[in-house]
Amino acid sequence: MNALLIDAFEFCRLKEQRNGEFQVGALPRLAEESVDRSGSVAWSLQGGSNLHGHPQMILSVSGKVRLLCQRCLTPLDFAIESGAVLVLAPDEGSADEIDALLSDEEVEVIVGSHAFDIQQLVEDEALLTIPLSPKHDACEGQQMPDATAEVVKESPFAVLRNLKK
pLDDT digits (tens, 9 = 90+) for 148-162: 445 567 777 777 777
pTM: 0.76
Of the pLDDT bands very low, low, confident and very high (cuts 50, 70, 90), residue 66 is very high
CA dist 59 and 45 (Å) reads 5
Structure confidence at residue 1 (pLDDT): 44
For residue 76, the one-letter residue type is: L
With vertex at residue 96, the alpha carbon angle to CA 93 and CA 100, rounded to the nearest 5 degrees, is 145
Domain ranges across the chain: 5-164
Q: State the pLDDT at residue 122.
A: 94
Whether the Cβ atoms of residue 121 and residue 99 lie closer than 8 Å to each other: no
Residue 146 DSSP symbol: -
Does residue 145 have a pLDDT over 60?
no
Averaged confidence pLDDT in the chain: 85
Return the minimum-mean-pLDDT range out of 21-30, 52-61, 89-98, 118-127: 89-98
- Residues whose CB falls within 8 Å of the CB of residue 17, separated by 6 or more in sequence, listed in order: 44, 45, 46, 47
pLDDT at 59: 94
* pLDDT at 110 (0 to 100): 87
What is the share, in percent, of the chain residues with pLDDT greater than 90? Answer: 47
How many other CB atoms are found less than 10 A from the CB of residue 54?
Answer: 18
Q: What is the pLDDT of residues 44-60, one digit of tens each?
A: 999 999 888 889 999 99
